[in-house]
């Protein structure tokens, strides 16, 4: 194998029989993620009363979760049962593209959800004129296309770098770890990576924070019933946002701060948080907290039992 043509995922080496326990846990998690997110998607798709911006954006989160985990779990499960842990350079770059597209899409979708709640609470009488199906479709398309385009350019720049090593100390193809294997100048890709992080992570999270500060100001001046309804729709989003923000912070910190020394097991868990917890937490939070979605999910489960 030519140097740079294949990468080796070194963390799978010498894990012994515990691989079967990890495989079982990973398989159960993946099945749960696909099942719960599929329920959310079908519930919103089948129920016409749920064809509203808030619920459509929730379904976008579920679609994105299925998209992102499809690039991670099948490969992880295969590596856990395999004796060789090599992955071609093209396949590795593709996995990195999908995983980081998922992460940036998650951030921009959460930003659109915050914008939707801000408009609904600050301008309730004009909400239907602002958040029309056409405008929502355009916003979703722009946010997703922009995120994937940025990540795609970053992966192309990464793929063009000359590699002087082939050992990745991760359980998946991590874009920054691939960059660190390069023996060429990485200033351009580092600057572009900062640009991607700023426009797809930092700016959306800043806008979300601004939106919720404005919402809190509005709620303080409103009636108790208004505050109760506002909090009922905003709290699930805040829970999802906090979890995603912490997960991304852990992933970025662990990959960029070389001097940070943690036990290998804890390091792996923290670096995988953004790939595992949000995809399973999102449908559970929204499925249990919104009665309209919960009722439709119950109807789907009952209909399936009768088949």
Entry field: residues in the chain:
307
Query: Whose structure tokens read 């959800």?
Result: 113
pLDDT at position 262: 64
- The answer to whether the CB of 59 falls within 8 A of the CB of 41 is yes
Give the bridge partners for 88, in sequence order: 6
pLDDT at 256 over 70: no
| Residue 264 vs residue 145, higher pLDDT | 145
**Distance (Å) of CA 190 to CA 6, 179, 193:** 23, 9, 5
pLDDT at position 258: 52
Q: So where are the chain's domains?
A: 6-305
pLDDT at position 1: 38
What's the pTM? 0.91
What would the mean pLDDT of 73-102 be, rounded to a whole number?
Answer: 91
DSSP structure class, residue 9: E
Check if CATH label 1.20.1070.10 holds for domain 6-305. Answer: yes
- Quick one: pLDDT band at residue 2, thresholds 50, 70, 90? very low
| Greatest Cα pair distance in the chain | 69
pLDDT at position 259: 47
- The answer to whether the CB of 37 falls within 8 A of the CB of 284 is no
- The answer to whether the CB of 103 falls within 8 A of the CB of 248 is yes
Q: How far apart are the first and last CA of the chain?
A: 52
pLDDT in tens, 105-144: 999 999 999 999 999 888 888 999 999 999 999 999 999 9
Closest-CA residue to 120 (of 54, 217, 44, 208): 54
pLDDT in tens, 241-255: 888 888 888 777 777
Closest-CA residue to 274 (of 169, 148, 151, 174): 174
- Scanning 82-126, the segments in alpha helix (DSSP H) are 89-122
pLDDT at 195 over 80: yes
């Amino acid at each position: 194998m030519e140097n740079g043509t294949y990468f080796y995922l070194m963390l799978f080496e010498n894990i012994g029989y515990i691989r079967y326990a990890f495989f079982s846990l990973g398989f159960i998690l993946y099945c749960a993620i696909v099942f719960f997110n599929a329920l959310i998607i079908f519930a919103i798709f089948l129920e016409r009363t749920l064809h509203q911006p808030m619920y459509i954006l929730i379904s976008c989160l579920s679609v994105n979760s299925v998209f992102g985990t499809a690039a991670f779990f099948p490969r992880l499960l295969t590596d856990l049962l395999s004796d060789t842990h090599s992955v071609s350079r093209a396949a590795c770059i593709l996995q990195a593209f999908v995983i980081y597209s998922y992460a940036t899409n998650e951030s921009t979708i959460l930003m659109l959800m915050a914008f939707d709640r801000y408009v609904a609470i600050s301008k309730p009488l004009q909400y239907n004129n602002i958040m029309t199906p056409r405008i929502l479709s355009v916003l979703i398309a722009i946010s997703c296309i922009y995120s994937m385009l940025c990540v795609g350019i970053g992966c192309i720049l990464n793929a063009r770098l000359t590699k002087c090593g082939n050992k990745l100390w991760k359980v998946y193809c991590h874009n920054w770890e691939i960059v660190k294997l390069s023996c060429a100048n990485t200033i351009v890709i580092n600057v572009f990576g900062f640009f991607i992080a700023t426009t797809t992570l930092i700016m959306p999270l800043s806008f979300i924070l601004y939106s919720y500060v404005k919402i809190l100001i509005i709620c303080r001046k409103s009636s108790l019933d208004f505050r109760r309804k506002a909090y009922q729709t905003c709290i699930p989003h805040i829970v999802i946002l906090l979890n995603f923000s912490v997960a991304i912070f852990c992933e970025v910190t662990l990959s960029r701060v070389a001097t940070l020394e943690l036990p290998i097991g804890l390091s792996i868990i923290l670096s995988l948080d953004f790939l595992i917890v949000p995809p399973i937490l999102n449908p559970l939070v929204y499925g249990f907290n919104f009665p309209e979605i919960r009722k439709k999910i119950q109807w789907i489960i009952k209909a399936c039992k009768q088949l």
